[in-house]
Chain A
Amino acid sequence: MNWELKSDRPIYVQLIEQIQLRIVSGLYPAGSRLPAVRDMAAEASVNPNTMQKSLAELERSGLVYTQRTSGRFVTEDRAMIQSVKELLARDQLKEFFIKMGQIGFTREETITLVEQAREGEDRHDTDLAV
């Protein structure tokens, strides 16, 4: 997974989102230890202070925690990870509906389109199977 940063929003906010994504997708599994701040900063090519700020923010939300001597860990609370996952999904959906609205589709039309697309894909899959 690459660190994708856009230019129009604060970097620390985007880092928070990207770390959340890594946690909900299991790249950083529940209860696992996170890499050192400097290493994460180097990987994302960002300032270590900014990475630190994002992690502190995530710590406040409870998604990660610090153990005084051994570093920073992802929470073991799977229910919390699940709820973050749903939150991220809802954000994506909201954005999707807005974009479809700009193209000129209502919510209902959009949902119909999604269903058609899924059926199309299913058919495509069976075609391939045959």
Chain B
Amino acid sequence: MTPILQCKVLGKRYGAKEALSSVDLQLGRGRIVGLLGPNGSGKTTMIKLASGILTPTSGEILIDGKAPGIESKSLVSYLPERTYLADWMRVSDLLGFFGDFYQNFNQEKAKEMLERLDINPNDRLKTMSKGTKEKVQLILVMSREAGLYLLDEPIGGVDPAARDYILNTIITNYSENATVIISTHLIADVERVLDDVIFIASGKIVMTSSVDEIREEQGKSVDELFREVFKC
């Protein structure tokens, strides 16, 4: 089976600044992968390249064997770090919006999840707290029946209880053949839900491993290992 995501000597530079350099990577299906690295290490650049928002400077990135484009966009469900949704919109508008944009958007599923969180479909985004807004966006993104979910800092701005809810939403809602990439530096919080981790630093991949391999071989958690590898 073709890997869902493949990078071949992938590079991206912004002017003189090299954001990613010679990244080689292959991700299989049905995995939850943590893209972990300190601030400015290239996590967001990597995710934007996969979503097709940025184009590579060198090398290539393939989604299901194809370069990012119209076809890959129907496969990829992307949660950006910052919202792009207009804040005057009501939740019900957003459901229609996503329904219009994406064929694989499961409106029933989204409604069910919103209901469970007591989010009123008539509420406007701008009246919501930061945490609620993030939950709404995650629900929208996870309600698409996609092959690859790209979640850029999905738990950055929310309290620990909301974090648990978000992580549970992720593990209960991705389909068996889908892969989820979660970029974050809050490693202790996400560790339990990850299959694999990718450590990235200064635009290069430092290590790829499974979580249990790290614990087995090093006798420490991914969080502890991260603190060692990236000690300032």
Interface residues of A (CB under 8 A from B): 5, 7-13, 38, 41-42, 44-50
CB neighbours of A42 from chain B (8 A): 168, 171-172
Establish whether residues A10 and B192, one from each chain, have CB atoms under 8 Å apart when the complex forms: no
Instruction: Kindly state whether residue B195 has any CB partner on chain A within 8 Å.
Output: yes
CB neighbours of A47 from chain B (8 A): 32, 171, 192-195
Main secondary structure of the interface of A (DSSP, over half): helix
Main secondary structure of the interface of B (DSSP, over half): helix
Could you list 29 A-B pairs, sorted by A, with CB under 8 Å?
Answer: A7-B188, A7-B215, A7-B220, A7-B223, A7-B224, A8-B220, A8-B221, A10-B215, A11-B192, A11-B212, A11-B215, A12-B212, A38-B171, A41-B171, A42-B172, A45-B167, A45-B171, A45-B192, A46-B171, A47-B32, A47-B171, A47-B192, A47-B193, A47-B195, A48-B171, A49-B31, A50-B195, A50-B211, A50-B212
Measured as residues with beta carbon below 8 angstroms from the partner, the interface class of chain B is: 20 to 34
CB neighbours of B168 from chain A (8 A): 42, 45
CB neighbours of B30 from chain A (8 A): 49
Q: How far is the CA of A60 from the CA of B73 in the complex (A)?
A: 41
Beyond the given pairs A7-B221, A45-B167, 17 more chain A to chain B contacts, judged by CB atoms under 8 angstroms and listed by A's residue number, are A5-B192, A7-B188, A7-B191, A7-B215, A7-B224, A10-B215, A11-B192, A13-B212, A41-B171, A42-B168, A42-B172, A45-B192, A46-B193, A47-B192, A47-B195, A49-B30, A50-B211
CB nearest neighbor in A for B193: A47
7 nearest A-B residue pairs (beta carbon): A7-B221, A10-B212, A10-B215, A46-B192, A47-B193, A42-B172, A10-B216
CB nearest neighbor in A for B216: A10
Closest CB-CB distance, B154 to chain A, in whole Å?
15
Instruction: Kindly state whether residue B164 has any CB partner on chain A within 8 Å.
Output: yes
